[in-house]
A and B are shown apart, each in its own frame.
Chain A
Amino acid sequence: MHLALFIIFGLLCLGGALNLLLQQHPINSALSLIVVMSSLAVLYLLLGAEFLALAQIIVYSGAIMVLFVFVIMLLNAGLEEKTRGSRAAYLAGIPGMLALFGVLAGTFFTLRSSFGSARLGAYLATTHDLAQVLFRNLLLPFEVTSILILVAILGAVVLARKEH
């Protein structure tokens, strides 16, 4: 069951990511990113992070990506144009990506026995556990992050406002 779900949603993730890479139109890229994020939420659920899975759906798929889609619609972004910069990027990007993936995957694969394995239902982080750590041990970072959000809101309002 766990294996089947992992394969299905892992493949969805990979497919979505590749589609993001290959699509020419930003709205198609945005939609494939939504697929990636929602499938990741299912993987979180498999790893016993139920609150995080739903937070992923609400924050990433439901808020951040809606913002992206909104901006794409607002600016009426069309197909991507090929320009001089992109050939160099192709030459450097694809081998670089393969090398990066090779190094990371090779490392994880050689160390695979020390990572152990995940069983369905073996570990569940409840909302209560999360709150204990977040609001006791990590209270200061939490407050600092809230200030960051406030600054970001003000910054966004200032930036997006039309000059009169």
Chain B
Amino acid sequence: MKNSPKKNLTEADFISIINVFKDKLFRIAKRLLVSHEEAQDAVQEVVLKLWIQKDKMIYYTNVEAFAVTMTKNYCLDRLKSKQATNLQLIHSNYRDQHERLAKKIEARDSVSHLNRLMEQLPVQQKMIVQLRDIEQLEFAQIAEIMSMTEGAIRVALSRGRTTLKEALIKIHEYGT
């Protein structure tokens, strides 16, 4: 162990790398998992995984894209296991009770509108809209993260944006 050519990535170095994109990971996790706490847990989990393999991290050309992909996969796994145990139902009931009031209060706020509308999108579209319109990543990066072609990304993006647009027009026409 003494003689291995270990790169000295200290804890401080690691944290400063993570700090660059931790908010992004959190927003993506929250977009998929909805719950604030679960999104926080997801980020901690992904960061821990990166920490364990930090010596390999130097060889990744794009740590950020790698971390985003890990977060996406982690959250999708969480969603799958939640569906399997029916936890999602219980969870959304819980959220309903607690957030209904908050939602009424912020009903006119475009952020909460948009968050609610984005919740209705299929996971893939949700993810792509998040990466492109909120995180403002390049198509090449999104294609890498989603393991899709750029063409397919643009098609899904178009569908997602159009759904959001139509819903917002409806809200605007019929009032909040």
Report whether chain A binds chain B. no
